Amino acid sequence: MMPLAERGAALLGRCLVRAEPMSGGDLSSLVRIVLDDGSAAIVKDGPDPPAEAGMLRAIRAAGIPAPEVFAADLRTLVIEPLPAGGGNADADLGHVLARLHAVTGDDYGWSRDYAFGTVRIDNHGSEDWPGFWAERRLLCHAPHLDAALRRRIEALAAILPERLPARPRPALLHGDLWSGNILTDGGRVSGLIDPACYHGHAEVDLAMLSLFGAPGPAFREAYGEAEPGMAERRAIYRLWPALVHLRLFGSGYRSMVEALLDATGC
Protein backbone atom coordinates (compact mmCIF):
# COMPACT_ATOMS: atom_id res chain seq x y z
CA MET A 1 0.00 0.00 0.00
CA MET A 2 2.67 2.52 1.01
CA PRO A 3 4.74 2.36 -2.21
CA LEU A 4 1.58 3.03 -4.22
CA ALA A 5 0.59 5.92 -1.92
CA GLU A 6 4.07 7.42 -2.09
CA ARG A 7 4.10 7.21 -5.90
CA GLY A 8 0.78 9.03 -6.00
CA ALA A 9 1.98 11.81 -3.71
CA ALA A 10 5.18 12.18 -5.72
CA LEU A 11 3.23 12.52 -8.98
CA LEU A 12 1.35 15.42 -7.40
CA GLY A 13 4.52 17.00 -6.07
CA ARG A 14 3.26 16.84 -2.47
CA CYS A 15 4.26 15.13 0.77
CA LEU A 16 2.23 12.17 1.94
CA VAL A 17 0.56 12.63 5.34
CA ARG A 18 -1.69 9.58 5.53
CA ALA A 19 -2.66 6.58 3.43
CA GLU A 20 -5.93 4.70 3.88
CA PRO A 21 -6.46 1.32 2.18
CA MET A 22 -9.60 0.97 0.09
CA SER A 23 -11.48 -2.05 -1.13
CA GLY A 24 -10.91 -2.08 -4.86
CA GLY A 25 -11.32 -4.40 -7.76
CA ASP A 26 -9.72 -7.78 -8.25
CA LEU A 27 -7.31 -6.45 -10.85
CA SER A 28 -5.78 -3.38 -9.21
CA SER A 29 -4.76 -1.93 -5.86
CA LEU A 30 -6.41 1.18 -4.48
CA VAL A 31 -5.49 3.63 -1.73
CA ARG A 32 -6.79 7.02 -0.55
CA ILE A 33 -4.09 9.50 0.30
CA VAL A 34 -4.11 12.73 2.30
CA LEU A 35 -1.42 15.26 1.40
CA ASP A 36 0.40 17.99 3.27
CA ASP A 37 -1.89 20.70 1.85
CA GLY A 38 -4.96 18.91 3.26
CA SER A 39 -6.17 17.64 -0.11
CA ALA A 40 -7.04 14.02 -0.81
CA ALA A 41 -6.78 11.76 -3.83
CA ILE A 42 -7.32 8.17 -4.90
CA VAL A 43 -4.28 6.30 -6.17
CA LYS A 44 -4.48 3.06 -8.12
CA ASP A 45 -2.34 0.87 -10.29
CA GLY A 46 -3.57 -1.31 -13.14
CA PRO A 47 -2.66 -2.71 -16.54
CA ASP A 48 -2.30 0.68 -18.27
CA PRO A 49 -2.82 3.82 -16.15
CA PRO A 50 -2.26 6.28 -19.06
CA ALA A 51 -4.93 4.48 -21.10
CA GLU A 52 -7.37 4.56 -18.20
CA ALA A 53 -6.65 8.24 -17.72
CA GLY A 54 -7.54 8.88 -21.35
CA MET A 55 -10.79 6.97 -20.99
CA LEU A 56 -11.82 8.90 -17.88
CA ARG A 57 -11.07 12.15 -19.68
CA ALA A 58 -13.19 11.05 -22.64
CA ILE A 59 -16.11 10.28 -20.33
CA ARG A 60 -15.80 13.64 -18.60
CA ALA A 61 -15.51 15.41 -21.96
CA ALA A 62 -18.91 13.92 -22.82
CA GLY A 63 -20.39 15.67 -19.80
CA ILE A 64 -20.67 12.45 -17.81
CA PRO A 65 -19.69 12.34 -14.11
CA ALA A 66 -16.34 10.63 -13.64
CA PRO A 67 -13.28 11.30 -11.47
CA GLU A 68 -10.98 14.07 -12.60
CA VAL A 69 -7.54 12.75 -13.49
CA PHE A 70 -4.91 14.51 -11.38
CA ALA A 71 -1.85 12.65 -12.72
CA ALA A 72 -0.80 9.41 -14.40
CA ASP A 73 2.37 7.61 -15.36
CA LEU A 74 3.09 4.09 -16.60
CA ARG A 75 2.48 2.53 -13.18
CA THR A 76 0.15 4.86 -11.30
CA LEU A 77 -3.13 6.75 -11.73
CA VAL A 78 -4.14 9.55 -9.35
CA ILE A 79 -7.77 10.63 -9.46
CA GLU A 80 -10.35 12.72 -7.65
CA PRO A 81 -12.28 11.18 -4.75
CA LEU A 82 -16.02 11.25 -5.43
CA PRO A 83 -18.96 11.06 -3.01
CA ALA A 84 -20.38 7.54 -2.83
CA GLY A 85 -23.05 7.48 -0.16
CA GLY A 86 -25.17 5.05 -2.14
CA GLY A 87 -28.89 5.21 -2.80
CA ASN A 88 -31.11 4.34 -5.72
CA ALA A 89 -30.05 6.34 -8.77
CA ASP A 90 -31.66 4.21 -11.51
CA ALA A 91 -33.39 7.14 -13.19
CA ASP A 92 -30.27 9.31 -13.19
CA LEU A 93 -28.22 6.38 -14.47
CA GLY A 94 -30.60 6.08 -17.42
CA HIS A 95 -30.07 9.75 -18.28
CA VAL A 96 -26.30 9.48 -17.77
CA LEU A 97 -25.94 6.47 -20.06
CA ALA A 98 -28.15 7.99 -22.72
CA ARG A 99 -25.83 11.02 -22.81
CA LEU A 100 -22.73 8.80 -22.88
CA HIS A 101 -24.08 6.71 -25.74
CA ALA A 102 -25.07 9.83 -27.69
CA VAL A 103 -21.34 10.48 -28.25
CA THR A 104 -20.19 8.61 -31.34
CA GLY A 105 -16.96 7.65 -33.06
CA ASP A 106 -16.06 7.15 -36.70
CA ASP A 107 -15.73 3.37 -36.41
CA TYR A 108 -15.74 0.56 -33.82
CA GLY A 109 -12.83 0.29 -31.41
CA TRP A 110 -10.53 2.70 -29.60
CA SER A 111 -7.27 4.55 -30.18
CA ARG A 112 -5.27 2.00 -28.18
CA ASP A 113 -5.59 -1.52 -26.83
CA TYR A 114 -6.24 -2.19 -23.15
CA ALA A 115 -6.39 -5.14 -20.75
CA PHE A 116 -8.31 -6.68 -17.90
CA GLY A 117 -5.40 -7.99 -15.86
CA THR A 118 -3.69 -10.54 -18.09
CA VAL A 119 -6.51 -10.58 -20.65
CA ARG A 120 -5.63 -8.31 -23.55
CA ILE A 121 -8.40 -6.21 -25.12
CA ASP A 122 -7.84 -5.69 -28.84
CA ASN A 123 -9.43 -2.36 -29.80
CA HIS A 124 -8.09 -2.11 -33.35
CA GLY A 125 -10.67 -0.18 -35.37
CA SER A 126 -13.17 -1.69 -37.78
CA GLU A 127 -16.18 -0.53 -39.82
CA ASP A 128 -17.74 -4.01 -39.61
CA TRP A 129 -19.52 -4.46 -36.28
CA PRO A 130 -20.25 -8.22 -36.49
CA GLY A 131 -16.65 -8.76 -37.59
CA PHE A 132 -15.34 -6.61 -34.75
CA TRP A 133 -17.36 -8.55 -32.17
CA ALA A 134 -16.38 -11.91 -33.66
CA GLU A 135 -12.65 -11.23 -33.88
CA ARG A 136 -11.95 -8.80 -31.03
CA ARG A 137 -14.44 -10.01 -28.42
CA LEU A 138 -15.13 -13.73 -29.01
CA LEU A 139 -12.55 -15.52 -31.17
CA CYS A 140 -9.70 -13.82 -29.29
CA HIS A 141 -10.52 -16.17 -26.39
CA ALA A 142 -10.54 -19.36 -28.49
CA PRO A 143 -6.84 -20.27 -27.96
CA HIS A 144 -7.44 -20.18 -24.20
CA LEU A 145 -10.52 -22.46 -24.19
CA ASP A 146 -10.91 -26.22 -24.33
CA ALA A 147 -12.01 -27.81 -27.59
CA ALA A 148 -15.71 -28.02 -26.72
CA LEU A 149 -16.08 -24.34 -25.82
CA ARG A 150 -13.83 -23.29 -28.68
CA ARG A 151 -16.04 -25.04 -31.25
CA ARG A 152 -19.16 -23.36 -29.84
CA ILE A 153 -17.56 -19.91 -29.88
CA GLU A 154 -16.37 -20.45 -33.46
CA ALA A 155 -19.86 -21.55 -34.50
CA LEU A 156 -21.41 -18.42 -33.01
CA ALA A 157 -18.79 -16.14 -34.55
CA ALA A 158 -19.56 -17.59 -37.99
CA ILE A 159 -23.23 -16.55 -37.82
CA LEU A 160 -22.82 -13.11 -36.23
CA PRO A 161 -23.55 -11.29 -39.52
CA GLU A 162 -27.04 -12.80 -39.24
CA ARG A 163 -27.43 -11.96 -35.55
CA LEU A 164 -25.93 -8.48 -35.13
CA PRO A 165 -26.62 -5.24 -36.98
CA ALA A 166 -23.98 -4.52 -39.61
CA ARG A 167 -23.54 -0.86 -38.77
CA PRO A 168 -25.09 0.25 -35.46
CA ARG A 169 -24.25 3.74 -34.28
CA PRO A 170 -20.70 3.56 -32.82
CA ALA A 171 -21.57 4.85 -29.35
CA LEU A 172 -19.03 5.71 -26.68
CA LEU A 173 -19.11 2.73 -24.31
CA HIS A 174 -17.96 2.51 -20.72
CA GLY A 175 -16.92 -1.04 -21.54
CA ASP A 176 -17.10 -2.63 -18.07
CA LEU A 177 -20.43 -1.35 -16.82
CA TRP A 178 -21.50 -3.28 -13.75
CA SER A 179 -22.84 -1.86 -10.50
CA GLY A 180 -19.43 -1.80 -8.80
CA ASN A 181 -18.21 0.70 -11.39
CA ILE A 182 -21.12 3.10 -10.83
CA LEU A 183 -20.78 5.43 -7.85
CA THR A 184 -24.03 6.86 -6.52
CA ASP A 185 -24.81 9.47 -3.92
CA GLY A 186 -28.44 9.91 -3.01
CA GLY A 187 -30.54 9.85 -6.16
CA ARG A 188 -27.76 10.68 -8.58
CA VAL A 189 -24.77 9.07 -10.24
CA SER A 190 -21.67 10.73 -8.81
CA GLY A 191 -19.26 8.99 -11.17
CA LEU A 192 -18.48 6.15 -13.55
CA ILE A 193 -15.15 4.52 -12.70
CA ASP A 194 -12.80 1.80 -13.98
CA PRO A 195 -13.70 2.21 -17.66
CA ALA A 196 -12.59 0.06 -20.58
CA CYS A 197 -13.86 2.42 -23.24
CA TYR A 198 -14.32 1.90 -26.95
CA HIS A 199 -16.93 2.74 -29.57
CA GLY A 200 -19.52 0.08 -30.30
CA HIS A 201 -23.19 -0.88 -30.16
CA ALA A 202 -24.79 0.79 -27.13
CA GLU A 203 -26.46 -2.51 -26.21
CA VAL A 204 -23.07 -3.84 -25.10
CA ASP A 205 -23.11 -1.62 -22.01
CA LEU A 206 -26.77 -2.42 -21.36
CA ALA A 207 -26.13 -6.16 -21.56
CA MET A 208 -23.24 -5.91 -19.11
CA LEU A 209 -25.25 -3.70 -16.77
CA SER A 210 -27.84 -6.45 -16.32
CA LEU A 211 -25.43 -9.40 -16.16
CA PHE A 212 -24.90 -9.35 -12.39
CA GLY A 213 -28.14 -7.63 -11.38
CA ALA A 214 -30.34 -5.20 -13.26
CA PRO A 215 -31.50 -1.65 -12.50
CA GLY A 216 -35.22 -1.09 -12.02
CA PRO A 217 -37.80 0.16 -14.51
CA ALA A 218 -36.90 3.81 -13.84
CA PHE A 219 -33.63 3.18 -15.68
CA ARG A 220 -35.28 2.07 -18.91
CA GLU A 221 -37.84 4.86 -18.76
CA ALA A 222 -35.04 7.42 -18.47
CA TYR A 223 -32.69 5.78 -20.98
CA GLY A 224 -35.25 5.27 -23.74
CA GLU A 225 -36.86 2.40 -25.58
CA ALA A 226 -34.99 -0.77 -26.44
CA GLU A 227 -34.01 -1.42 -30.04
CA PRO A 228 -35.97 -4.18 -31.78
CA GLY A 229 -34.25 -7.54 -31.25
CA MET A 230 -32.29 -6.45 -28.19
CA ALA A 231 -33.38 -9.46 -26.15
CA GLU A 232 -32.01 -11.84 -28.81
CA ARG A 233 -28.65 -10.07 -28.88
CA ARG A 234 -28.20 -9.82 -25.10
CA ALA A 235 -26.57 -13.23 -24.64
CA ILE A 236 -24.10 -12.55 -27.47
CA TYR A 237 -22.94 -9.36 -25.80
CA ARG A 238 -22.82 -10.91 -22.34
CA LEU A 239 -20.45 -13.60 -23.58
CA TRP A 240 -17.58 -11.13 -23.71
CA PRO A 241 -17.48 -10.38 -19.95
CA ALA A 242 -18.32 -14.01 -19.16
CA LEU A 243 -15.34 -15.24 -21.17
CA VAL A 244 -13.08 -12.64 -19.55
CA HIS A 245 -14.22 -13.83 -16.11
CA LEU A 246 -13.63 -17.46 -17.09
CA ARG A 247 -10.05 -16.69 -18.12
CA LEU A 248 -9.28 -14.50 -15.12
CA PHE A 249 -11.05 -16.34 -12.33
CA GLY A 250 -11.39 -19.91 -13.49
CA SER A 251 -13.90 -22.69 -13.99
CA GLY A 252 -16.54 -21.22 -11.68
CA TYR A 253 -17.63 -19.09 -14.65
CA ARG A 254 -17.83 -21.95 -17.14
CA SER A 255 -21.51 -22.58 -16.42
CA MET A 256 -22.26 -18.91 -17.17
CA VAL A 257 -20.47 -19.16 -20.52
CA GLU A 258 -22.27 -22.39 -21.38
CA ALA A 259 -25.68 -20.97 -20.43
CA LEU A 260 -25.09 -17.91 -22.62
CA LEU A 261 -24.03 -20.10 -25.53
CA ASP A 262 -27.18 -22.18 -24.99
CA ALA A 263 -29.22 -18.97 -25.21
CA THR A 264 -27.66 -18.17 -28.58
CA GLY A 265 -28.45 -21.65 -29.91
CA CYS A 266 -24.78 -22.51 -30.44
Active-site residue numbers? Answer: 176
CA 73/CA 49 separation, integer angstroms: 6
Return the bridge partners of 35, or none. 16
DSSP one-letter code for 104? B
Cβ–Cβ under 8 Å, residues 41 and 69: no
Residue 40 pairs in a beta bridge with 34
The angle, 0 to 180 degrees and rounded to 10, between the axes of the packed helices 254-264 and 230-249 is: 160
| Helix-helix angle 147-163:230-249, to 10 degrees | 150
Question: What is the greatest pairwise CA distance in the chain?
Answer: 59
By the 8 A CB rule, do 1 and 21 touch? yes
